[in-house]
Chain A
């Protein structure tokens, strides 16, 4: 019996949390569909309005139609970026917290599943699902965000766009999973663990967002004469100095270094939280 338990454990996790799995699948599919619709259907209507404007010599009041494209695209980016808050709530509340509160975890540990193996399955299965879904979301958003740049008014350095265009999205989700597990093991109650995990992940994101520009050395340009920076830079500081003009900024090429450093930090926090969660579990069940 004990030999079959580890094999069945992942399936048990999936079955127990099938509602969450369905919601996550619907979320990924929904955002993907929305972005495809925006870039295949909505964009045609906007382009038609644009063509009507440019075919005449006078002004056009249809520019508002740009918003039909750019606003929802922004929403998709924001939902992709901040999906980790839902992951934190799910992990703290439902995945770990609820079973510790109700005692079903303790029951499982008497059925030939060691606590460490139980937690490993609880973390590994969602981690795989989150990595797969998050990767899909990032790839789709990278395509959708770049497809019609002239219709968008945003910039790669916008807080949510920055995260949604790379592996940091997946890293934040995995970190939320680990932090949620750790808080749930510490608090052993579903609702407080839910609230604390969401708050902790929100705080981590807020701190990293605030110091994001410092994660890679910025470029500085000084000139005695006024100058223009390219439109796609992330401007940090600009203005006059005693003798001339000066600007500090991140060029668009700094996206990947900045993004990967942040991803690394978030993954390190995730690893620490996972190690702490296993340590707490070992002490609790020793």
Chain B
């Protein structure tokens, strides 16, 4: 009603066939209005986390780096003055912001399960919407598309800011987390974005399957945790490792995400290592008995960061697509029966 007087001459062509094109934007507007508290809360979350990450990457990193410089300049001298609080503050804010980035996919999954589909099916407003000229498939598509764009954009922003903040401290802060620290590894890359999208599809599917808001909320969050644990376990095997061979004197070496280690024999076999260094007399004889020629370690060096991240993200996106497809399928089965019946309950 309010749009009619202000509408310019342009939309005349759309009013000529008002059925389809007009519906999508209206549905999106409804979606935004219906979930206004969630949109506001999410915006606040992203803004606070983003601001904290900028603060972390800027002033906090500089203060902590300066404190470490002072501390290292002391070189164990009698008198030493450095800003211990700056170091502790950097560590605290780093931990909080990293947790916030990693918690974001779970918030998305919980919201999608509890609020996006489950609630409307429980209360029956979804069924009402389907009688108002919106087909169930279109209803679900609208409920997935816009949140997917918003979730991808905001989690993408958060991981990018996290990466900027982490990079700013690299090599300047002695206690900064290494790239292969599990929480840092994930928060610096694309996995949280893919995980959030998977959480969105998972929540929507659980809502359709369980048709109960709180049950879908809980299940979506728990299953997403299981999905992440699976990806975490599989991750080192998603990309070929590099084998670092080291001499018997030095023991196994090679920094990064280690997948396996042991000794190599002259015959080319890989055996588990009985001890860690040929420098120790007893160990030397034991290694000689095995016919060992050197130690090996299979690792992912830092160069494998993006291949690992992107492969894991791709796997998660495939999972998200499968979940979305299943959701559409479940919806079709549910709504295929005679109108008014809930289908297989």
Contacts and interface: CB of A to CB of B under 8 A. Distances in A.
A58 B214 contact: no
Interface residues of B, number: 21
Interface string A216-256: 00000000000000000000000010000000000000000
A191 B275 contact: no
B277 A194 contact: no
A190 B41 contact: no
B214 A98 contact: yes
Contacts of B80: 240
Interface string A26-62: 0000000000000000000000000000001111110
Contacts of B273: 61
B41 A60 contact: no
A228 B240 CA distance: 48
A95 to B, nearest CB: 10
A58 B280 CA distance: 6
Contact of A59 (B79, B217, B283): B283
Nearest to A56: B282
A36 to B, nearest CB: 23
A56 B282 CA distance: 8
A59 B277 CA distance: 8
B280 A191 contact: no
Given A94-B214, A98-B214, A190-B213, A56 B275 contact: yes
A190 B275 contact: no
Is chain B's binding surface mostly helix, strand, loop or mixed?
A: helix
Contacts of B169: none
Interface string A154-182: 00000000000000000000000000000
Please tell me the size bucket of the interface on A. 10 to 19
A194 B213 CA distance: 12
Contact of B276 (A61, A98, A194): A61
A195 interface: yes
Nearest to B282: A58
A61 B275 contact: yes
B214 A59 contact: no
B213 A191 contact: yes
Interface string A182-195: 00000000111011
A58 B283 contact: yes
B125 to A, nearest CB: 13
Given A191-B119, A192-B37, A195-B41, A93 B276 contact: no
Given A58-B283, A59-B283, A192-B37, A93 B217 contact: yes
Interface in A89-124: 93-94, 98
A240 B79 contact: yes
B283 A194 contact: no
Contact of A58 (B79, B114, B277): B277
Given A191-B114, A191-B115, A195-B41, A58 B275 contact: yes
Contacts of B275: 56, 58-61
Interface core residue of A60, A190, A191 (most chain B CB under 10 Å): A191
A60 B214 contact: no
Given A58-B276, A191-B213, 15 more contacts: A56-B275, A56-B282, A57-B280, A57-B282, A58-B277, A58-B280, A58-B283, A59-B275, A59-B283, A60-B275, A98-B214, A190-B213, A190-B214, A191-B217, A192-B37
Interface of A: 19, 56-61, 93-94, 98, 190-192, 194-195, 240
17 contacts: A56-B275, A58-B276, A58-B277, A58-B281, A59-B276, A60-B275, A60-B276, A61-B252, A61-B275, A61-B276, A191-B115, A191-B119, A191-B217, A192-B37, A194-B214, A195-B41, A240-B80
